Structure 1
Amino acid sequence: MTTSIDTHAVRAALLSRLDALGARLDQVEQDFAQPHDPDSGEQAIERESEEAEEAIGDAAVAEIAATRAAIARLDAGSYGLCVSCGDPIAPARLAALPAASQCIACARAAGS
């Protein structure tokens, strides 16, 4: 782990993000639980909205997994190191994407 990383601040930011993602996922689940409008035209619109909300929910689930993995790397002492090559991840990348698990080069090579 690089010494310039404030692990307490990173942990707080990651936990805060987990809370926000959990709230987003709860909202998506609540929206899915709502009954459909009896009007067939409204139902079509609602179904389109559900597809968008499902995509949002899927993205939230993926981000939750990445955030939990980042917390696990913090606990293991490997946060800030690329999981692919082992090189340090640029501080600017971690500041922009605290759950980043790869350096820019490896992320580009992986297509993510």
Structure 2
Amino acid sequence: MGSAELKHQIEEEIKRTEALVTEYKEMSQPVSPDDAIGRISRMDAINNKSVTEAALRQAENKLASLKSVISNIDSPDFGICVSCKQPIPIGRILIRPESQRCVNCAR
């Protein structure tokens, strides 16, 4: 797989992650006390908001990593494990482009 195809794959993942971030931001809006919902429903909405906020933070971190990766794709160190200095398998790069370590070193 060439670097152009790999770059395209990473750009597609960036688009998907940006869409997730937008969706999570919309879902994590505060629950208005003026909404006429029951106490249990309000507690459930607050709990769901906490879960969504955690997912939002995770998606934002992944997005930052992906953008960092895309800016370094032409670097000679791209795809090289930062721990053992061996090439990271292409499958891992496609599954987790933000990974900077091979599977063995990531354990």
Shorter-chain TM range is 0.7 to 0.9
Residue identity matched to 2:45: E
* In 1: Cα distance, 2:96 partner to 2:80 partner: 13
TM-score by length of 1: 0.79
Q: 1:26 and 1:7, CA in 2 relative to 1: closer, same or farther beyond 3 A?
A: same
More helix by share: 1
Matched ranges for 1:62-81 at <5 A: 62-81=61-80
- What is the Cα deviation at residue 28 of structure 1? 1.4
1:9 aligned onto 2:5: yes
Write out per-residue CA displacement over residues 83-105 of structure 1, whole angstroms, 9 at most, x where no aligned residue.
22321112232233233211122
- What is the Cα deviation at residue 68 of structure 1? 1.6
Counterpart of 1:89 in structure 2 is 88
SS at match of 1:102: coil
Residue identity matched to 1:66: S
- Which deviates the most, 68-77 or 34-43? 34-43
TM-score by length of 2: 0.82
- In structure 2, the gaps of 5 or more residues are none
Residue identity matched to 1:29: K
- In structure 1, the gaps of 5 or more residues are none
Counterpart of 1:38 in structure 2 is 36
SS at match of 2:16: helix
Contact 1:80 1:89 in 2 (8 A): yes
- What is the Cα deviation at residue 35 of structure 1? 4.3
- What is the Cα deviation at residue 15 of structure 1? 1.2
1:26 aligned onto 2:22: yes
Q: 1:96 and 1:28, CA in 2 relative to 1: closer, same or farther beyond 3 A?
A: closer
